[in-house]
């Protein structure tokens, strides 16, 4: 079964090859179209990251996308006629390599993790590059459109959800039963506590991290934090992902 993209590719190659029968330039033109389209599509994702001031911005995403594109073109046309080749093999290596690059964009500080979305957009840039390099132009365009909508429109949805389930980071003395007091106060406010983790902060203090779902009185968050700080005699209390 021939796909829509394959039909387009076939027509492009056929058209340009007819212009100059002595030199089959159809594949060359196709590769140029692939590279230009890749720059345009990946550039949309890179600009969005650049505007948000992320460490991996426009140039990083373009490098990943164009490199993936070139490798995919090489896997299709870069070997002599008759040579044994597997186009999917190089693509698989690209996916593995970009996975390590994306992991480098993730920063873990205390209980806060940053860079996950940027790592995802690096991964997406690779996918768009492979789609363009394998001449799946329609798929690349539709994929880019969907990713851009996710990065922009869904940001507001994500903010609303995280606002109702913020993360609390507390530093308390290790000789105080802080967890029992936290559960007691949360029950009083009708808040649900889950995902409690502990870590050694220093010789005398421990760090508690947990998520709290604001089921009841959402407008009493500041009062809730003040009660946690006073009743547990906390050294510090920080509320994350609540605006």
Model confidence pLDDT, tens digit, residues 12-34: 888 888 888 788 788 889 999 99
Give kind and range of the element (H or E) at residue 172: strand 167-173
Q: Three-state SS for 40?
A: helix
Q: Which residues pair with 213 in a beta bridge?
A: 192
pLDDT at 225: 85
Alpha helices by DSSP H, listed for 78-220, are 87-103, 116-133, 137-163, 178-189
Q: CA nearest 49: which of 128, 101, 98, 121?
A: 121
87 pLDDT band, cuts 50/70/90, is low
pLDDT at 68: 92
Note whether 75 and 90 are within 8 A (CB).
Answer: yes
Domains of the chain: 4-159 (no CATH), 164-240 (3.30.70.260)
To the question of pTM greater than 0.75 for the whole model, the response is: no
Note whether 208 and 111 are within 8 A (CB).
Answer: no
Q: CA nearest 44: which of 187, 189, 150?
A: 150
pLDDT at 95: 81
**Does the structure show a pLDDT above 70 at 138?**
yes
**Does the structure show a pLDDT above 80 at 47?**
yes
Model confidence pLDDT, tens digit, residues 55-74: 678 898 999 999 999 988 88
Q: What is the mean pLDDT of residues 203-215?
A: 84
CB proximity list for 143: less than 8 A, separation 6 or greater: 124, 127, 128, 131
Residue predicted with more confidence, 109 or 174: 174
pLDDT at 107: 65
Say how far apart CA 35 and CA 29 lie, in whole Å.
10
């Amino acid at each position: 079964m021939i796909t829509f993209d394959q039909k387009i590719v076939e027509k492009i190659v056929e058209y340009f090859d007819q212009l100059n029968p002595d030199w089959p330039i159809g594949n060359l033109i196709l590769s140029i179209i692939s590279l230009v389209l890749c720059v345009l599509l990946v550039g949309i994702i890179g600009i969005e990251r650049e505007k948000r001031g992320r460490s991996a911005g426009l140039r990083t995403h373009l490098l990943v996308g164009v490199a993936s594109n070139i490798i995919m073109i090489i896997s299709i046309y870069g070997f002599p006629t008759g040579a044994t080749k597997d186009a999917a093999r190089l693509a698989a290596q690209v996916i593995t390599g970009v996975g390590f690059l994306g992991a480098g964009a993730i920063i873990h500080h205390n209980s806060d993790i940053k860079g996950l979305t940027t790592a995802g957009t690096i991964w997406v840039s690779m996918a768009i590059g492979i789609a363009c390099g394998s001449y799946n132009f329609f798929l690349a365009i539709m994929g880019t459109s969907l990713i851009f909508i996710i990065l922009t429109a869904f940001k507001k949805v994500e903010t609303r959800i995280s606002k109702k389930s913020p993360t609390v980071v507390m530093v308390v003395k290790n000789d105080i039963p802080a967890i029992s007091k936290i559960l007691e106060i949360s029950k009083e406010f009708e808040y649900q506590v889950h995902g409690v983790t502990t870590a050694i902060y220093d010789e005398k203090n421990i760090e508690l991290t947990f998520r709290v779902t604001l089921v009841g009185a959402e407008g009493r968050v500041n009062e809730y934090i003040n009660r946690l700080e006073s009743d547990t005699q906390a050294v510090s209390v920080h509320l994350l992902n609540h605006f």
